[in-house]
Structure 1
């Protein structure tokens, strides 16, 4: 009898230990970043989202990240290592990771992958992006009002639809309030390279731009603007508030935290499904940073009104009449662009004199 009691007690202890082990098993979540977490731009905001997951779920999750991962086969190596080490949810946070995500996802069907700004999906691959062009319409509105030289500079990263959309949206909004405005575009062919970004900013200033926008990730353009009196700019992806009150007059902020929390919750609940998310100002994924006192009060008011109208669905940044750069008709009066065209946008609108590189 004592032997039976001992065996039963031992079994109970073993069962308890096994249950505790299951209870303590954490959801491992990995992030791969195209830049450093200290860029104070794109990657910085994604890392804020990662930290938001930890704050929300505590001991239920374990997050890891690898920064400055090239958009090459190196990213496949990083994602493969994450999958092999028990990560069940992996966020790949840059456009050109896309094919590499698809390759790795096929090898690990039990791992869920989330790809930022891409368009390829699978049963275990979701895509997500923000309607950055909505925010660029708002800062384009501000830029059109504030330029004194009627020349606005734009530092572009790569000639992909996301970037081209942003240029077009900002230009149309600036042109709507200042018919004399012109855009100068410099392509940096990088997401994060402070040296190249600084050179691009200086080249635009030399071409007469007194307002500069950027679709690159570092604060180097802001640092260069600060050296020149009268040059203003906008925070990109993050607030870049350390450059307030000038040259930064406002910013576009990418707010990833709610999405990351929701997708983590879906994993914990067992309800994760492959989805395509494209949210904007309405959903809070795109935010407009605080407008500094360098912006006149009436311009602040009209810019905020534009943001509110976009959020309410009363204004679409791409509303006709709009022609393509070559003069051919695109949108008739009152017609708005469909998401399919926007997602694949590979043309400038009429009035932009630059060329899109191959």
Structure 2
């Protein structure tokens, strides 16, 4: 009898231990933590807004397997390094830093924490645990340049530029290449504002360009201020940046160069979680669905929309807007006929194509 009771007690003890271990195992499966650093507010309706939609898609697609967090409006420089380090200390195992000026801070922190994976947007420095990614926004900008070439009446196109980095220079050149091809009489005027997000500066720049005769305004800044300024002025078109900005200019909106990060971010997070991630340099464009530019102003003619759609289909099929012959401002051939610029060359572009007026700021 005593032996039977001892066996019962041991069985109960083992059962309880098993339940306890199972409970501990469930608790051990904490969600995979992913952090994001944004240069602007998530409500900028442009760059940071679109990246945050990507973050939200990660949570939606992966559910309770992940937990994401973000820090917005982080200045580029020492503040960025502190913010990235804080995300590491908070237990994030994958960190996306989403602005060019975060490159050096990201690389510095990545060296200190080799067990954390880092992804930096628009930069070029890579390590074993640091990869880079960027959108081929120049593809969408080329389409916008085509529409600007066809819709301008003044033959003056305005461009609000942020900082003189390869990405911005590339996009300016893409617009000019479209103008050269579809309306050689059109001139491109550039105003540098040295900010990614400052609605006041952006509106002032737009008004300055319109005062100088520009009737199409493109921007490489993140707020809808330029679009709103064009809408208020009347008779002027605006091109949206990163997100669909048509809601900010019902009449003014010509097209937007939209960046879509939902699928990409979900894929990267999955690859890090399952151990298949490897450092590299990702360039996503129209073919990958990262860039879209088909939200045309409804007032455009069907013929014009069809022609723009044809250009988009050509780019999806492999056409590179930076296909020669291409000359620089001095008339020197930089890309021979029949050749196209490689990703490596586009990544370090620091010169203007023929037709762009003015110098690149130092």
Give the TM-score of the pair, scaled to structure 2: 0.96
Q: CA deviation at 1:13?
A: 2.5
Q: What's 2:23 paired with?
A: 17
2:88 pairs with 1:83: yes
2:117 pairs with 1:74: no
Compare 170-179 and 8-17 and name the one that shifted more.
8-17
CA distance 1:296–1:175, change in 2 (3 Å): farther
2:320 pairs with 1:343: no
Compare 268-277 and 190-199 and name the one that shifted more.
268-277
Q: What's 1:294 paired with?
A: 299
Q: What's 1:216 paired with?
A: 221
Report if aligned partners of 1:250, 1:291 keep a CA contact under 8 Å in 2. yes
Q: CA offsets, 1:68-100, max 9 Å, x none?
A: 000111111111111111101110010110000
Q: 1-side partners of 2:155 and 2:246: how far apart?
A: 25
Q: CA deviation at 1:307?
A: 0.6
After TM superposition, list the pairs within 5 Å mapping 1:1-358 onto structure 2. 1=6, 2-23=8-29, 25-313=30-318, 315-358=319-362
Q: CA offsets, 1:124-174, max 9 Å, x none?
A: 111000111111110100000000000000000000000000000111112
Q: CA deviation at 1:268?
A: 2.2
CA RMSD of aligned residues (A): 1.2
Report if aligned partners of 1:281, 1:287 keep a CA contact under 8 Å in 2. yes
Q: 2-side partners of 1:52 and 1:5: how far apart?
A: 47
The DSSP-based 3-state class of the residue aligned with 1:38 is coil
Q: 1-side partners of 2:239 and 2:356: how far apart?
A: 20
Compare 293-302 and 280-289 and name the one that shifted more.
293-302
Report if aligned partners of 2:231, 2:250 keep a CA contact under 8 Å in 1. no
Q: 1-side partners of 2:282 and 2:99: how far apart?
A: 15
Q: 2-side partners of 1:234 and 1:91: how far apart?
A: 27
Q: CA deviation at 1:250?
A: 1.1
Q: Which runs of 5+ in 2 are unaligned?
A: 1-5
Compare 284-293 and 152-161 and name the one that shifted more.
284-293
Report if aligned partners of 1:139, 1:250 keep a CA contact under 8 Å in 2. yes
Report if aligned partners of 1:245, 1:294 keep a CA contact under 8 Å in 2. no
Q: CA offsets, 1:233-253, max 9 Å, x none?
A: 111100012124321121110
